[in-house]
Every structure is written in C-alpha cells, then in structure tokens.
Amino acid sequence: MDGKSPHSSDDLDAAIAAAVAAGVVVREFYDGETAATYAKGDGSPVTDADLAADRAVRQVLNELCPDDPILSEEGLDDELRLAASRCWIVDPIDGTEQFIRRSGEFDVLVALIENGRPVVAAGYQPTTRLMVSAVAGGGAWVRRGDGELEQVRFEPAGDRLRLATSKWFGAPENEAIVQSVAERLGVAPTRPMVTGFSPRLFLTPRGVDVMLGIRPSGDQTMASEWDVAVADRVFHEAGGVVTDLAGDRFTYNKRVPHNLNGLVAAVDPESHARVLAALQDERAARKTSTETIQG
C-alpha cells in the first residue's frame, strides 16, 4: 500500500500482502484448470488451490508477523491462539464450490483478530483483482485491479430494502421464514445466493442491502469465523451493522470457531433495526403458533 494513504498500517499491509500472494496462486490453478478436488471429513470439497493458497498466506504472515498464531480453514488448529490477544483468521478460498464450478465467485479472506474482534480485514477476488480492505477506525476501501483506492461508505437502503439469504445461511429451508419477514417489511426477498458473505457483494452498484442467516428452528450456528470476520470489519467501517439474531456482535478466536445464533448484516443501522424487529416479531408469532397447536 502507499505509505501516504490514510488506509495503511503494518498489520493491514500484511493482510493485503497475504491475500494477494494467495490470490496469485489461486489464479494460476484457476487459469490452468489444474487443481484436483478432494472431500474433507465433513464432506465439503477442498482443492489443491485451497491448500496452496493456505501455504502462501502462512508464508507471508509468518514472515511479517512471526509471533501471531493463525487459524485457517485448511490448517491444523493451533490451540496457542486461545491464549493470544492477536490471531489471524484465514479462508484461503471462500467459495471453493464456485472455484470448482469456475464461476469466479470466490475470495481469499484474511482478518486480524484482537481481543475477540476483527480489527484488520482484506478480501481479494483473484479473478478480477478486486481488493476490499478495512482497518478499525481507518475506514473501508476498495481497489479494482490497478485502479485508485476508493473509500467505501454504504448508502442507506431506505424504503427499497433488498433482503437476501444464501445457501450457506439457511436456504432453501428458510424460504418461508425469510418470505414472512420480507412481507412484514413490505418488501420482496431476492433469490437466495450461492455465495457466502463477501463484502464485495455490497459494493456499488449493489443488489442486496441485508444478508439474513436463519433456520426455521433448532441450531442457529451460521458458518465459521473465517467466513464472516472480513465482512464484519468492512461492514462496520462502511457504516453497516453485523450481528446475530439477538442483535449482539460476534466474537472471534473462540475454542470452537463457529458463529452462533444466526446472522443479520445490514448496510445501515436503521435497516438493521427494522429487520431485527421484523425477525423478532416473526419468531414470536411462530412460537405462539407452535404452542397453540401443541396445546
């Protein structure tokens, strides 16, 4: 990064360098169509590109921040991180399924956690060389290829509120509840996304204002920490809000690195409050209906 930029710090430069290094490796596999695919223990796919990108991120971070532990989707968990105030959280390819399908809809995600919250974030799309980054108190920024660095400030959604969910955040099983919440808000939900919670999806011109993660009932665990940490920091720096279904912010670098109790991410506080209220009303109505039937 340009040392004169207001959006610069040693940690941010490290995050960006790691994301770009991994992105270069991923792009080589993508262009060459040479990445073999394997199944992980949970049945999800992983490719040679994921593993090579993980090595690239680690090489950069180990060189620039040698004392910091790393939590990565594709690496063994280093439990020393639990005693550390700083920890890097990494997804070498967020959207491996889309990488395999060659849609271009995947990112390298690198975030620095301090005392349970993301303070630095870099999300890099290798196919377009689009970088979205953020640092606590320093704003959110985007660079498109070799273009100029531009600050990201979300425009409020207003009455046109566009509500979305994703296959990674409860769809299609949550179709009925998302539709009901949309009706309470007087809007129509968009088609469920096939991608995760990437901050670039909310850049201008954006097609969605709120990402909702909810299941009709039961466990509301939503994705892993590496799926959300980058977008969490970017959203808050750009004027948005990211919380669980109770309106509480997520904490990171937990022993079990999963985000709990759903997801409500909105581009402005007013939209977030509206969606949260509609969700609470809908869930209360469903609980009352269930109790009436059982009674």
Q: How many domains does the chain have?
A: 2
239-251 pLDDT, tens digit each: 999 999 999 999 9
Specify whether 123 is located in the same domain as 66. Answer: yes
Letter string b/e over residues 149-158, b meaning 16 or more CB atoms within 10 A of that residue's CB: beebebeebe
Q: Please report, as a single letter, which amino acid is at residue 52.
A: A
Structural domain of 55: 10-152
The better pLDDT of the pair 204, 140 is held by 140
Question: Is residue 5 one of the residues assigned to a domain?
Answer: no
Specify whether 147 is located in the same domain as 167. Answer: no
Q: How many CA atoms lie within 13 A of 151 on its CB side?
A: 13
Question: Is residue 179 one of the residues assigned to a domain?
Answer: yes
CATH number, domain containing residue 218 = 3.40.190.80
Specify whether 169 is located in the same domain as 221. Answer: yes
| 212 within 8 A of 181, measured Cβ to Cβ | yes
Specify whether 162 is located in the same domain as 270. Answer: yes
Q: Are strands 45-47 and 210-213 parallel, antiparallel or unpaired?
A: unpaired
Specify whether 17 is located in the same domain as 145. Answer: yes
CATH number, domain containing residue 148 = 3.30.540.10
CA distance 76 to 78: 6
Specify whether 146 is located in the same domain as 165. Answer: no
Angstrom CA distances, 7 to 43, 110, 149, 191, 231, stand at 39, 16, 9, 35, 17
Q: pLDDT grade, residue 76 (50/70/90)?
A: confident
CA distance 174 to 72: 29
192-220 pLDDT, tens digit each: 999 989 999 999 888 899 999 999 888 99
Specify whether 125 is located in the same domain as 139. Answer: yes
For position 7, what pLDDT does the model report? 53
Specify whether 126 is located in the same domain as 40. Answer: yes
Tell me if the pTM is above 0.85.
Answer: yes
Indicate the residue among 94, 117, 152 that finishes a domain. 152
267-277 pLDDT, tens digit each: 999 999 999 99
Indicate the residue among 125, 152, 179 that finishes a domain. 152
